[in-house]
């Protein structure tokens, strides 16, 4: 298996190759049109045919990019780093679950303390009321 970085590098290299070919085709198409313009006429049938071939090839390059992207996604799904990341995420989730349990316990104690404080306040009020009634 490969790492995410290796998959990324391979993807960028292949994508750069596709882009380079696309740019070369675009330049060829532009050259054909410029030469025809400079010659003062329209495109010859052979030039029109070549421009159509170039357009079709460029469409195929777009499809190749899609296939490359899908292949890269597949490669990323089985990359060594992904397994490591998933294990780390699982470990973090376990820690978060433990932390949540602790927080719920703390919350329960806090509710009991708040209830006790409310009861103590009521008792203190009653004591003040009783003390006020004393001679």
8-state DSSP, 41: S
What are the structural domain ranges in the chain?
Answer: 1-78, 82-135
For the chain, the straight-line distance linking the first and the last C-alpha, in angstroms and rounded, comes to 90
pTM for this prediction: 0.59
Phi, psi of 3 (to 5 degrees): -90, 165
Contacts of 80 (CB under 8 A, 6+ apart): 1, 2, 3
Compute mean pLDDT per 10 residues along the chain, 135 residues long, and list them: 87 95 96 91 91 96 95 87 85 94 94 94 92 85
């Amino acid at each position: 298996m490969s790492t995410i970085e290796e998959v990324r590098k391979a993807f960028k290299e292949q994508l750069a190759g596709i882009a380079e070919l696309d740019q070369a085709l675009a330049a060829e198409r532009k050259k054909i049109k410029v030469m025809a313009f400079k010659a003062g006429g329209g495109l010859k049938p052979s030039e029109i045919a070549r421009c159509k071939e170039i357009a079709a090839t460029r469409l195929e390059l777009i499809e190749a990019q899609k296939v490359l992207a899908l292949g890269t996604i597949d490669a990323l799904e089985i990359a060594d780093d992904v397994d490591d990341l998933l294990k780390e995420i699982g470990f973090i989730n376990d820690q978060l679950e433990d932390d949540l349990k602790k927080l719920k316990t703390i919350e329960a104690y806090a509710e009991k303390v708040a209830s006790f404080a409310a009861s103590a306040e009521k008792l203190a009020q009653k004591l003040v009321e009783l003390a006020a009634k004393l001679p």
